[in-house]
Amino acid sequence: MSASSSFKLSGGFRGKLQDYKLLVKFNLSFMVVFSALISYLLAPKIRDYDLDTMLLFFLAGMLVTGSANTINQVVEKDTDALMKRTANRPVASGRMSVQEAWAFAVIAGLAGVSILWWQFNFLSAALAAFSLFLYAFIYTPLKKVSSISVLVGAVPGALPCLIGWAAGNDDLSAGGWALFAIQFFWQFPHFWAIAWIAHTDYAKAGFKLLPSNEGPTKYSAIQAIIYSLLLLPVGVLPYFLGGRDGGGMSGIVALVVVLIANLFMVMQCVRLYREMTVKAARRVMFSSYIYLPVVLLALLANKVS
């Protein structure tokens, strides 16, 4: 094989690999599965942190999440093609056929759910399958119907925490629901900030994602403030619930970290209300990206300390 043909072959492979990375929305999937893995490690029954088991759980999570994101791109291929931020996705751009994407989604989804069932438990597998269905077949088409889709989508968005807890504890006890609640309410200011920034693109595609029909308005900013405020009482739940031997999941240091993170989110949402700019919305978005790992890692640090 000549040097030039070898280069073309490797370039084609890298291109296909990049397309699959875009197909599964790798960065988003990684963040989702990260929250599931931390929730798994927070489960009281998990005392030993076995790397092989953690990697297997992470693989299962990436497969299920990647499957859901793939179906999302197949269903939205025409609207993705209309938006600048999504036009380069492999199915929307025509670089990947719908048949190939569907084949990957089915194989990845079945593989991920099967790993959870055989290597962990049926409960986590059933929750993962339900989450995939709800995200791909209910939330995705609902985005063009009503902004209630954000509420519906927040359920599969928060289920990874419950899936991780169920995989580690084999139950749906209070600690798992506390983690679910944190991620559930976190999604509203997070997602509305993204919808604010990309409002023009979303409106062009017919998506109704902001709470106000008029788009980025004071009402939308107020809603972001309300849900960020709801994170304050929800954020303290781990201090009282779900810990080992009946104790809390969070010590005083972790509680303080969580409260500071919550107040920071509230502050950024208030700034959005005052400034009403894309720049302020971007601050909310980046703050939310920081918030979740800080809170989850603070809780995990409390457990392992």
Both 196 and 84 in one domain: the answer is no
Q: Which of 250, 238, 260 is closest to 301 using CA atoms?
A: 250
Cα separation values, 220 from 47, 149, 224, 261, 279, Å: 43, 15, 6, 22, 15
End-to-end CA distance of the chain: 56
Both 158 and 183 in one domain: the answer is no
233 confidence band (pLDDT: 50, 70, 90): very high
Average pLDDT value for the chain: 89
What integer is the mean pLDDT of 208-214? 78
Both 262 and 301 in one domain: the answer is yes
Both 81 and 147 in one domain: the answer is yes
Both 21 and 46 in one domain: the answer is yes
144 confidence band (pLDDT: 50, 70, 90): confident
Which pLDDT belongs to residue 11? 55
**Statement: residue 201 has pLDDT above 90:** no
Where a domain ends, among 171, 204, 238? 171
Which pLDDT belongs to residue 74? 94
Cα separation values, 261 from 57, 208, 265, Å: 28, 29, 6
What integer is the mean pLDDT of 230-239? 92
Both 192 and 93 in one domain: the answer is no
Comparison of pLDDT for 146 and 269, the residue scoring more: 269
* Contacts (Cβ under 8 Å, ≥6 apart) of 129: 64, 109, 113
Cα separation, 109 vs 91, in Å, equals: 18
Both 90 and 187 in one domain: the answer is no
**Statement: residue 244 has pLDDT above 70:** no
**Statement: residue 156 has pLDDT above 90:** yes
Count structural domains, the chain. Answer: 2
Single-letter residue type at 190: H
Which pLDDT belongs to residue 60? 97
**Statement: residue 197 has pLDDT above 50:** yes
Single-letter residue type at 189: P
Where a domain ends, among 152, 171, 190? 171
**Statement: residue 187 has pLDDT above 60:** yes
Specify the 3-state DSSP secondary structure of 153: helix
Q: Cβ(112)–Cβ(131) under 8 Å?
A: no
What integer is the mean pLDDT of 37-61? 94
Domain hosting 145: range is 1-171
Which pLDDT belongs to residue 8? 41
Which pLDDT belongs to residue 147? 77
**Statement: residue 246 has pLDDT above 50:** no
Both 19 and 166 in one domain: the answer is yes
Where a domain ends, among 171, 194, 223? 171
Specify the 3-state DSSP secondary structure of 215: coil
What integer is the mean pLDDT of 221-225? 94
What integer is the mean pLDDT of 34-45? 94
DSSP state of 139: I
Both 37 and 64 in one domain: the answer is yes
Give residue-wise pLDDT tens across range 83-138.
888 889 999 998 999 999 999 999 999 999 999 999 999 999 999 999 999 999 99
Both 109 and 125 in one domain: the answer is yes
Q: Cβ(83)–Cβ(201) under 8 Å?
A: yes
Both 212 and 271 in one domain: the answer is yes
**Statement: residue 247 has pLDDT above 70:** no
CATH number of the domain to which 110 belongs: 1.10.357.140
Both 179 and 305 in one domain: the answer is yes
Which pLDDT belongs to residue 245? 40
Which pLDDT belongs to residue 256? 93
